[in-house]
Amino acid sequence: MSWTPAEDLPPGSTDPEPVAEALSTGGVLVLSGAGISTESGIPDYRGEGGSLSRHTPMTYQDFIADAQARRRYWARSHLGWRTFGRARPNPGHRAVAAFARNGLLSGLITQNVDGLHQAAGSEGVVELHGSLDRVVCLSCGALGPRRELARRLEEANEGFEPVAAGINPDGDADLTDEQVGDFRVVPCTVCGGILKPDVVFFGEAVPPRRVEHCRKLVREATSLLVLGSSLTVMSGLRFVRQAAQAGKPVLIVNLDPTRGDRHAVTRVALPLGTALSAVASRLGIPESAQA
């Protein structure tokens, strides 16, 4: 879950012009991470004030093996969903959607589970790690909407109103064990099995067919633009390595150094909203078209 930047990494730039130049030729594949959603009020994992400094995400292994871990997760996730579900797209999300509407993108892969790209108008988004707005039964595979589960959890836990210390990129709120208390978890309505959000937990593999689809998108793209990801974990880094090995330019917009910097032609060290709005303007996309 962690990575220490090497001292010999190239420094970041504050000039977004290379990003504008890449987009102007079209065929750009975007890979976005938690950093693009920080301006929507959702913290990232590893940046300044990132959630990993105070919070250890639920692992797939713990969720499967421990009923108390599932109780703790669902209590925190249920509370976090109330805040998470109110988040709205920011200028970064809207700029990406505008790039697509203007025919500049070949595709969009996101590591995020917040649905904000779609809310901004992006279509055909590949959700690498799934989405929090769906739940899946681990026994029968039934899928259902998160809003329905939220309703059932509200009914089963009337009066559950703890004050969370913070919210995390996976929608998990920070609660103590005392605040979790005897929170009641509800089962699958089809078979009574264990419900899990339809997201890839830490320690869980991204479905192979999804990975291969993303690899195909990399093969078809002219360049890869990484937005707001430290690329610490292999789920995203592998696509950067694939693009670089194929001789396709990799451009990164991220405030902090990333594990993919040595594969990139540039890293723009600016806030995502600022950088992408500036790029849109350089490409002649008016602010009204980014709304």
**Full 3-state SS string of 121-171:** CCCCCEECCEEEEEEEECCCCCEEEHHHHHHHHHHHCCCCCCCCCCECCCC
For the chain, strand residue ranges (E) read 28-32, 105-110, 126-127, 130-137, 143-145, 195-199, 223-227, 250-253, 266-268
pLDDT of residue 163: 75
pLDDT of residue 176: 83
pLDDT of residue 45: 58
Task: Choose the catalytic residue: 78, 129, 213, 263.
Answer: 129
pLDDT of residue 289: 67
Which parts of the chain have pLDDT scores under 50? 46, 49-54
Answer yes or no: 263 catalytic. no
Distance CA 116, CA 122 (A): 9
Distance CA 114, CA 102 (A): 24
Task: Write the pLDDT tens digit of every residue in 211-228.
Answer: 999 999 999 999 999 999
Retrieve residue 40's tokens. Answer: 């929507």
Residue 45 marked as a ligand binder = yes
Handedness of CA 204, 208, 213, 218 (dihedral sign): positive
Task: Please name the residue ranges forming H helices in the chain.
Answer: 17-24, 60-65, 67-84, 91-101, 116-119, 146-156, 177-180, 208-220, 234-245, 272-282
CATH 3.40.50.1220 assigned to domain 13-42+89-129+204-291? The reply is: yes
Distance CA 128, CA 82 (A): 23
Q: Are 254 and 35 in contact (CB under 8 A)?
A: yes
- pTM for the model: 0.90
For the chain, the domains span 13-42+89-129+204-291, 53-86+131-199
Q: How many residues does the chain have?
A: 291
Distance CA 24, CA 130 (A): 30
Residue 173 marked as a ligand binder = no
CATH 1.10.20.10 assigned to domain 53-86+131-199? The reply is: no
Residue 47 marked as a ligand binder = yes
Q: Are 255 and 241 in contact (CB under 8 A)?
A: no
Residue with tokens 């500049």: 104
Residue 214 marked as a ligand binder = no
pLDDT of residue 54: 47
pLDDT of residue 8: 74
Residue with tokens 């065929």: 27
In sequence order, the β-bridge partners of residue 253 are 227, 268
Which DSSP category does 87 fall into?
-
Residue 228 marked as a ligand binder = yes
Residue 64 marked as a ligand binder = no
Task: Write the pLDDT tens digit of every residue in 86-129.
Answer: 889 999 999 999 999 999 999 999 999 999 999 999 999 999 99
Retrieve residue 50's tokens. Answer: 């990132």
Which DSSP category does 202 fall into?
B
* Closest among 171, 180, 200 to 85, alpha carbons compared: 171
Amino acid at 247: G
For residue 285, the Cα-to-chain-centroid distance in whole angstroms is 25
Distance CA 291, CA 92 (A): 11
